[in-house]
Amino acid sequence: MIEQKVGEGDNALQLKATLVRMNLPIGLIDAAIASAERSYVELKKDLSGRYYSGCCI
């Protein structure tokens, strides 16, 4: 088995790598991930902690 260590930042990095391999526009990838990361920062404040049911970024 291969261990896949995933932290919050790693999620975004891993996702970006996957999407880049699909030849999607870098600008679009970055914009979408940045949008999700902004939302997640706010969500953590609203929930007083992390939310990871479903593994989100």
**In 3-state terms, what secondary structure has residue 49?**
coil
Would you give the binding string for other proteins spanning residues 23-42, x where CB under 8 A is met?
A: xxx--xx-xxx-xx-xxx-x
For tokens 């940045």, name the residue. Answer: 34
End-to-end CA distance of the chain: 25
User: Least separation, in Å, of the C-beta of 37 and other proteins?
Assistant: 9
d(CA 33, CA 56): 11
> Residue 20 interacts with other proteins (CB under 8 A)?
no
Q: Which residues are at the interface with other proteins (CB under 8 A)?
A: 1-7, 11, 14-15, 18-19, 22-25, 28-29, 31-33, 35-36, 38-40, 42-43, 46-57
